[in-house]
Amino acid sequence: MTKRRSVLAPYHSFTKAQWSALRADEPMTLNADDIKRLRTLSDPISLHEAEEVYLPLTRLLSFYVEAVQGLHNISTRFLDTPDQKVPFIIGVAGSVAVGKSTTARILRALLQRWPSSPKVDLVTTDGFLLPNAVLTERNIMERKGFPESYDRGRFVQFLADIKSGKAQVAAPVYSHLVYDIVPDQQVVIDRPDILIVEGLNILQPGELPKTGKPILFASDFIDFSIYIDADDEDLEAWFMERFFQLRETAFRDPTSFFRRFAEMSKDEAGAFGKMVWETINLPNLQQNVVPTRGRADLILKKGKSHSIEDVKLRRV
C-alpha cells in the first residue's frame, strides 16, 4: 500500500493564544496611553491585544535582526571589508483601512524600547505617490493607490540607498489633508538600525521589462514582511467607518481637499464613500494587494472586531 505524501504548507499557523505564548518573558514597555496615542482613528486595538500579538512579534524580530547582522559580519570578514551598519528593513502591507499604520507605529515604539535602544525610523509609501498634477496629466487620478500611481523607481532607489548605509536619505512628504505631495518638503532618514516601511503595494514585484534587463523590486530590500489581512466586507465597513469619522473631523478643515464631503448630507457622503470603495479601493485590493499576501513572512488575520484572530508565519 502506497503511503500518501503529506503536503507541506508554506506557513506555520497559530491561534492568537498559541501565538501569544511565544512572547516568553518579553516585557511590555508600552502602557494604555501609549496604545491610544499610537492607534489610528478607526483601529480600536487595546493594550491587551498589543501584548498578545506584537510582543511575540518583536521577540521574533530580535532573532531575525541578530541573524541578518550575523550574516553581514560573515560577509565583511570574507571580503575583508570595513564593517558598516546595514539597516534591517521591515515591510507592513495590506488594504486601505486594515490598520497598517497602527501596526507600524506600535512596532516602532516597541522596537525603540529594546535594551539596545536601536534607532528605528518609519516611512509610508504615500510619499512616493506621483503628484496630483502628474496623475491628472496621465489620466490616472482615479487610480490613485494603484501601482502605476507611484514613482516606483524613486521608491526602489530610496530603499537601495538606505540598505547601502547611505546617510541623509530623503523621502517626499504626502499630506492627507490636501491629498497631494507637499512641494519642497521631505523627511530625511539617516542610517537607522531598523526601518519600517508601510504601504499598499510594497510586496508587489511589478512588471519585468521586455528587454530581459535585470531590475530590482522594493521587496528585494525588505528583510521581514508583514501582511495585515481581513475579509473584504470587513474592510469595506472599516473604510466607511473611517470615512464618516473623518467627515466629522479632518474634512471640516477649510484647507482640506475633502472639505466638500463635510458639507454633503450623510446619505450623499455615504454614497460617495461607497463608490470610492467599490470603484477604486476594492479593485486595487483584489487585483494588486491580495495577490502579494503569499509573499509575506507573517500574515496577521483580523476578524470583524478588528482583533487579530490567527497568525501565519512562513516556514524558513
∠ CA 249-304-200, nearest 5°, is 65
Q: Which residues contact 146 (CB under 8 A, 6 or more apart)?
A: 140, 284, 288
Cell numbers describing residue 60: 521574533
Residue 5 pLDDT > 60: no
> Taking a C-beta distance cutoff of 8 angstroms, is the pair 103, 214 a contact?
no
Residue 63 pLDDT > 70: yes
From residue 309, how far is each of 53, 106, 239 by CA, in Å?
A: 10, 18, 20
Instruction: pLDDT band for 3, please (50, 70, 90 cuts).
Output: low
Domain 11-314 belongs to what architecture?
Answer: 3-Layer(aba) Sandwich (3.40)
Q: Report pTM.
A: 0.93
| Gyration radius from the chain CA atoms | 21
DSSP-assigned letters across all residues of 190-205: ---SEEEEE-SSTT--
Residue 39 pLDDT > 50: yes
pLDDT (tens digit per residue) in 101-118: 999 999 999 999 999 999
Mean pLDDT of 84-91: 92
When the pLDDT of each residue in the chain is averaged and rounded to a whole number, the result is 92
**Where in the chain are the domains?**
11-314
Least Cα distance to 308 among 43, 42, 89 occurs for: 43
> Taking a C-beta distance cutoff of 8 angstroms, is the pair 314, 297 a contact?
yes
- Rounded to whole angstroms, the Cα distance separating 279 from 287 reads 12
Mean pLDDT of 245-265: 81
pLDDT at 42: 76
Q: Measured in Å, how far apart are the chain's first and last C-alpha atoms?
A: 32
Residue 133 pLDDT > 50: yes
CA dihedral 268, 234, 200, 110 (to 10 degrees): 120
pLDDT at 233: 97
Residue 161 pLDDT > 70: yes
Helix H segments across the chain? 16-21, 32-38, 47-79, 100-112, 132-137, 152-163, 232-247, 259-263, 266-276, 282-284
Residue 1 pLDDT > 50: no
